[in-house]
Amino acid sequence: MIYRIVYSLLLYLLAPLLLVRLYKPQPGKPSVGKRWPEHFGFTPPLSVKHPIWVHAVSVGETIAVTPLLKQLKAAHPNTPILVTTTTPTGAEQAAKLGDLVEHRYMPLDFSWAVRRFIKVIRPRALYIMETELWPNTLAIAKQSGVSTTVINARLSERSCQRYAKFQPIFDLLAKNIDSILCQHQDDATRFERLGIAEDKIQVTGSIKFDITPATGLSAAASALRQQLGNSRPVWIAASTHSGEDEQVLQAHSALLASHPTALLILVPRHPERFNSVFSLCQQQGLNVIRRTSNDTVQNNTQVYLADTMGEMMLLLGCSDIAFVGGSLIGDKVGGHNLLEPASLSLPTLTGPSFFNFMDITRQLLEANGAAVVDDSQQLTQQLCSLFNDPEQRKSMGLAAFSVVKCNQGAIRRTITALNSQQT
């Protein structure tokens, strides 16, 4: 109990900083607006009773959990689903699900806020996407008789070691979790190392492997590619971070020396950076246009800045090669998921820091469906090699796709595990 009291006091002290970051207006970022009381548990009543409560913190988790939500609804059409997110970008993504779910903002991890929230929504179960674990939320859910399952759970070695340094805090989390459905055996082993009982853990696979391109994606991607130029080399740098854009642009500038018509689709990870990345492209002397400008892409356009949200699959679909960011800036981020380009049979490149997606990336590397580049020079070399050899591009892309296909079925296994808990 003493640890929760100390944790709650720290949370009260840090809350102003968290709220400033959450509510600060930023270009390209949607606003919480008048819904801010929801973060304090003042949640409007739902139109349904006793929903399954699924928490997906932001836009990435919401996109990833969508196929599971659709199949869960198909299996239980009369069971309502509530999706909570913390961020407004996640809320914006959840709104795209229409009548499939209702959305509310997740209350901050104050006991009184969570208690008020649960009293209003009266959930039948809580499914937490990946590893968004909050001590008070888990404790109040347990006290309220709400079973909690972590789905698609992952735990990197780095995070495991951090939790181990604060084992009493992790123990607070663990005792209030009923089940953990892990992506990979590596994740399960780490949870066991931290003291989670073996009978609470299952390996169901990563639901991100169960990617099904949306209806009409191929046609939309073909139409966009025609606008960008069918005959020119096109590559995408997806989910890039500050300090990484410079390296990507340097690699592209070098690529232009041998492939002068090449086009880079640049997709910054965070929307608040769209303007600064646009300015960076101009400072580098590159001819850049923004997707939202609706300007026509010309033959001399060198960078196409994707300053939109929720279009990653479309942008990947009109590319020849993908580089996945968060991986060229040391250990600050630990990479992003390579599965989206792999699911579209794209040869995929990553930097050396991919510890957040170790298992997936290793599988792709072993199958020759992906390659590691250590810096901008190696990135240029790999791009040149792949653009010069269409057969290599094709075989690498097919190898990546085969890894995705071999790992599919996680959604089915997850739903089976969830159903067994309700019987």
Q: How far apart are CA 344 and CA 264, in angstroms?
A: 18
Q: How far apart are CA 148 and CA 153, in angstroms?
A: 13
Among candidate residues 175, 193, 191, 197, the one with its CA nearest the CA of residue 3: 175
Q: How far apart are CA 354 and CA 334, in angstroms?
A: 5
Q: How far apart are CA 46 and CA 343, in angstroms?
A: 36
Residue 331 buriedness (CB in 10 A; 0-12 / 13-18 / 19+): exposed
3-state secondary structure of 45: coil
Catalytic hit among 38, 61, 244, 340:
61
Strands 234-240 and 201-203: unpaired
Helix (H) or strand (E) holding 313: helix 312-317
Q: How far apart are CA 63 and CA 89, in angstroms?
A: 11
Residue 170 buriedness (CB in 10 A; 0-12 / 13-18 / 19+): buried
Residue type at 61?
A: E
DSSP string, 67-102: HHHHHHHHH-TTS-EEEEESSHHHHHHHHTTGGG-E
Q: How far apart are CA 17 and CA 20, in angstroms?
A: 5
Q: E strands, 121-223, where?
A: 125-129, 147-153, 179-182, 201-203
3-state secondary structure of 385: helix
Query: Active site includes 61?
Result: yes
With a CB cutoff of 8 Å and minimum separation 6, the contacts of 184 are 154, 203, 205, 206, 359
Neighbours of 124 (CB within 10 A): 15
CA distances from 223 to 51, 84, 195, 288 (A): 40, 34, 52, 20
- Give the catalytic positions in this structure: 61
